[in-house]
Amino acid sequence: MANIYTAALMEHNAHPDYKYDLEGATDEHEGVNPSCGDEMVLKLRVENGVIEEAAFTGHGCAVSQASADMMADLVTGETVEEARRLCGLFMKMVKGEQLTEDEKEDLDEATQLESISHMPARVKCAELGWRTLTEMIGEE
């Protein structure tokens, strides 16, 4: 079984670029994983349908924090519609559904969390940021 604690995951957890309190946010949503206690507040600054900035605060395990940081990095600069599509791809991937090579390329570093699909207890950790974003902007 693949090790979920990749260098990218550990780097995003230890040095998250998007873990800060975003001032001037246009959207805000709280996400909670009741099974383990991970919590986050995701904030976005959306202008003309584009996510100009994404950031989160909160606490949780390495997987939830790194995954949220990867998600914020990926959707910053994207349209809300593209962010919805990327969230859908990520959710499919961590639930064990096969993605095309192009879809994996679209998810960039987040594809390194693909092996989480083999660890049901950790799927909710990886999904937290993505689920919170989906709850905020709606599904594809």
pLDDT of res. 121 = 84
Please, are residues 28 and 45 in contact by the beta-carbon 8 Å criterion?
no
Residue 110's nearest CA partner among 132, 133, 93, 131 is 93
Q: What pTM does this model have?
A: 0.92
Asked if residue 59 has pLDDT above 50, the reply is: yes
Number of residues assigned to the chain: 140
Residue-wise pLDDT for 66-98, tens only, equals: 999 999 999 999 999 999 999 999 999 999 999
7-137: what fold? Sufe protein. Chain: A (3.90.1010)
Residue-wise pLDDT for 30-56, tens only, equals: 999 988 889 999 999 999 999 999 999
Residue 1: band (very low, low, confident or very high) from pLDDT cuts 50, 70, 90: very low
* % of the chain exceeding 90 in pLDDT: 76
Q: In what order do the strands lie in the sheet with 27-33?
A: 27-33, 38-47, 50-59
List the domain boundaries for the chain. 7-137
